Amino acid sequence: MDTLNEIRDTASFEDILADFELLDDWEDRYRYVIELGRKLAPVPEAARNPVNKVEGCVSQVWLATQVDRSGGAPRLFFIGDSDAHIVRGLIAILFVLYSGKTANEIVSIDAPKRLGQLHLQEHLTPQRSNGLMAMVKRIRSDAEASLGEVVLH
């Protein structure tokens, strides 16, 4: 279910941050974000449902979560899509930050701080910034829910 194989093989969050710092012009940064979004695998139509729809986004956004418990601690993987190119890129950045990590790791990530390193909030519309934080909230909520499902012996 993890759709970031191509992005993951070539980029970590630190790589994205370094690329951002090399690009002086925000138009170039926007193009880079859009390019990241193009690397996301297509989302099956079945995943484009009301359960996976993220509320609080101006654009249409769907995020689906798969929890892998085979290694003990729940590890989360995500697929997602949007009808807006820039938002697809933001989804890709979030997946680099979160997908494949344990639920505890996800909950401990300070997303506003990490995303703040990219200075996105300064260059996104307030609606896009709110949508980005709605996606972060959804990912964190899914991680917290997976922790609540752990059976203690």
Active site residues: 57
Structure tokens at 20: 């951002």
Nearest to 52 by CA among 63, 42, 44, 60: 63
Nearest to 17 by CA among 35, 32, 31, 4: 32
Residue 24 Cα distances to 20, 32, 110, angstroms: 8, 12, 25
Nearest to 82 by CA among 59, 102, 64, 65: 59
